Amino acid sequence: METLEDRLETTTSGDAFIDYCAWEYAPPCAREGKFRSVNLLFHSFEVLGMGERAFAFVAALREAFGVGRTVWGMKLREGEIAWEFYFYDYRRREREGSISRFLEVLRAFTSCRVQPDEGIPYFMFSVDVDDALLSGRRPLEEVHMYIGNPGSRVSSGICYSVTPCGRRLENFYFFFDRERDQKDAMAKAACSAHVDAAKISAEAVFRPELLPCRTLCLANKQENDCIYFSRVNVDQLIFFLRENAYPAELISFVETHRSRLDHLLYDVGFDYRMENGELRVLKSGYYGFF
């Protein structure tokens, strides 16, 4: 059986780098011989006791969708870690990276009763992943499907939950260039059904430590709001992990290997709402790709 050390991957001159929207970026420093983003995912599998099927699943998805084209998200909610995988194809109806293609891969791991409609012009979809899914103990019962939201000056998307029972609206997303549109992003966050901007400071949401970033994404969800900071550096990632109390083993891996992770840019975010006059973070997440 392979150990984690056997699985760790290093970058090559041919590697491309993408953020959580699958938009390519140029690494901020030399990249050859450093860690690939997938190493953070593999390390989390090891720490949290995911079996061999988790690593086999990543390999199968790479074969189907290509290396470096799938985004992974690590989520922390009420002390529990979960994963979500995201798949993009901005060609929409002419897409090759479809839900149907994903379900072909999934068939080797578990069953799924979701019936995708490939006539819908979605540009991405995501699935929640855990050991029960990959071991076949539970079927896949939900796919999150994202479609465009034309008519806004900023890039925008709408998320729907797709289940065997049909489709349900989940979230709206709005992407702001941090340098150009930060004031607009703050105005958007202040226009909230879940937070009283007169009682919660802007800094509580727009964390100064994370603001040096490329893009701010504001999301309206059914029970809370959400903010994402896209393309932060490794030191900002370490701050984020500490601030949100991720497991110590995950934090120490990034700290120990900081010099082999400093060529990557990361995406981080958290769900929040106001409770008893204070801002409460409900869930947080950080993102990479494989």
Q: What is the pLDDT of residues 146-191, one digit of tens each?
A: 999 998 789 999 999 999 999 999 999 999 999 999 999 999 999 9
The pLDDT value given to residue 269: 98
CB 39 within 8 A of CB 254: no
Q: How far is CA 95 from CA 41, 142, 149, 256, in A?
A: 26, 20, 18, 40
Q: What is the pLDDT of residue 148?
A: 95
pLDDT at res. 153: 86
Q: Which residues of the chain have pLDDT under 70?
A: none
pLDDT score recorded for residue 262:
98
CA dihedral 135, 101, 41, 218 (to 10 degrees): -120
Neighbours of 214 (CB within 10 A): 16
Distances (CA, A) of 16 to 12, 224, 288: 9, 34, 12
| pTM to 2 decimal places | 0.95
Q: Which long-range contacts (CB under 8 A, 24 or more apart) does 159-163 make?
A: 162/99, 162/114, 162/116, 163/114
Tokens found for residue 279: 């801002």
Predicted local confidence at residue 116, as pLDDT: 94
CA atoms of 9 and 5, how far apart (whole Å): 9
pLDDT tens readout for residues 210-225 = 999 999 999 999 999 9
**Distance (Å, whole) CA 185 – CA 178:** 8
